[in-house]
Every structure is written in structure tokens, then in C-alpha cells.
Amino acid sequence: MNDQLSLNGSYVAEKPQQRTLTNDYQLTQSSAALGKPKVKARYSENGIVSDLGVEKRKVYQYKQANGVMVFSDQQPLGADYQVLLYECFACRPDSTIDWYKIPLFTSHFATDVALAAHKYQLDPALIRAVIHAESAFKPGAVSKAGAKGLMQLMPGTASDMGVDNPLNAQQNIRGGSRYLAQLLAQFNGDLDLACAAYNAGPSTVTQYSGMPPYPETQAYVKRVKILFKRYQKALAS
């Protein structure tokens, strides 16, 4: 599905549809490559997955001779590598979406966003930016990994945040905002690290003592910040 076209889908608040993504990506290897570097394929467990049917993204992960881990969209010629497959909305490094111009959702779930922003002392524009990056405001979004709803809460996170039904928009926004506020507190108000932790997990950010080297995480953080500034401007006008 074309990125831009995926943004034009209509939103039906009365009957949100639950959609589950499946992974049917077939990895093939030419006969010329047989006997060369070992290849392992797995799906990213940390990606932000929406129900938009976005084309899967393939990233090569391998370790250089000096021990440095590399993530690249180019297949390495002389090293064992893993293929990471992403189903992302806001994390594709090669996304063709113009994040400075895509339509915003300034009025959807207005009461729920306002209440969560007040309760957890967050800028409502930030909550909207994260929702937009996570699910493009699709309350029925369900990822292969099990993340659900507007702010794509994993079952464990939902439970920790007191969310019984993550497909309920009010509960999801409240739980996702609470989690986002906790991450901001954990990383001393650093928006980049808090957003990275929302995507890749706080332990990953701690492990790397900063921004993880994952292409999807870096793209996600950049785009959340773009959306954040745009929502701030739009909500102030």
C-alpha cells in the first residue's frame, strides 16, 4: 500500500475495526549465495506496528570485524547477518511520507487527550504526536507482537498502567500517557530518550546509554518530534 494513500482511509469512531497484521514475507536466497554468510531472519519485536498494511521493511544487522554492530539497508558481502523485518508506520527509514505536510488529527478524542494531559502533566500535542506515530489514530490497530490500540500498548505495559481493555480509546490514551510520563521522568525530561524508550523499551535505551542504533527507533523519534511541533502549532492557532 502506498504510504500517502494509507493516510486517506476514513475514520469511523462508532465502530472501530480490529485488524491484525500477519507476516508472509518470504526470504529467498540465490544459488550463488549458498555456502556464503549465514543468514537468520526474524521480525523486529520493537517496531511500531499499525494496521495500515505498510510494506515490510528489510534491514540487515551484522557485526563488523572490530565488534561494532551495524544496521544497514545494504546486504553485507562477507559477514554473517540477520534480516530484521519491520511492519511500521512511523519507523520506516525510507518512508515516502512527507511528515511536515501529512494531515493532522487535531480534534479526535479531544476529551480523553485533554484529561490524560492534565492528569499526567503532558503537552496534549505530544500525546497526539505519539498516537499519530503509533497508529495514525486507528483505535483498533493490533500488531503481530500483540501491541494494541491508539498508543500500541503491549499486554504487560497495559496491565502495569491499569488498562483492562487496550482497544478502548479512553483507557488506551490514559495508559499510554501514563507510560509516556513515566519514561520522561525516568530519562530526566529528555524527549528523544523517552520516545526511544517508548519504541524500543527503556532497558534498551539504558543498555546503549542513549539513543539505540536501531534505524526504526531513530526514524520514529525524529518523526514524533516533527509531529509534536506541528501539533503544538496547530493546537495553538
Residues 132 and 40 in one domain: no
- Residue 14 reports pLDDT greater than 90: no
Residues 136 and 215 in one domain: yes
On whether residue 14 sits in a domain, the answer given is no
Active site residues: 134
- Residue 4 reports pLDDT greater than 70: no
Average pLDDT over residues 36-51: 39
On whether residue 103 sits in a domain, the answer given is no
- Residue 200 reports pLDDT greater than 90: no
What are the tens digits of pLDDT across the range 156-173? 999 999 999 999 999 999
On whether residue 56 sits in a domain, the answer given is yes
DSSP string, 115-153: HHHHHTT--HHHHHHHHHHHHTT-TTEE-TT--BTTTTB
On whether residue 127 sits in a domain, the answer given is yes
Average pLDDT over residues 197-204: 90
Type of residue found at 25: Y
Band (89; pLDDT cuts 50, 70, 90)? low
On whether residue 155 sits in a domain, the answer given is yes
Residues 128 and 225 in one domain: yes
Q: How many domains does the chain have?
A: 2
On whether residue 169 sits in a domain, the answer given is yes
- Which has the closest alpha carbon to 127: 138, 113, 139, 137? 113
On whether residue 100 sits in a domain, the answer given is no
Residues 212 and 121 in one domain: yes
Evaluate whether 88 touches 221 at the Cβ level (below 8 Å). no
Residues 114 and 171 in one domain: yes
41-45, 48-52, 148-152: the lowest-pLDDT one: 48-52
Evaluate whether 139 touches 169 at the Cβ level (below 8 Å). yes
Residues pairing with 20 in the sheet: 142
The predicted pLDDT at position 214 comes to 84
Residues 122 and 181 in one domain: yes
Give residue 169's domain range. 110-236
Band (8; pLDDT cuts 50, 70, 90)? very low
Evaluate whether 154 touches 166 at the Cβ level (below 8 Å). no
**Burial of 126: CB neighbours in 10 Å, binned 0-12, 13-18, 19+:** buried
On whether residue 33 sits in a domain, the answer given is yes
| pTM greater than 0.75 (yes/no) | no
Residues 48 and 121 in one domain: no
**What phi, psi does 143 have (nearest 5°)?**
-90, 165
Residues 124 and 226 in one domain: yes
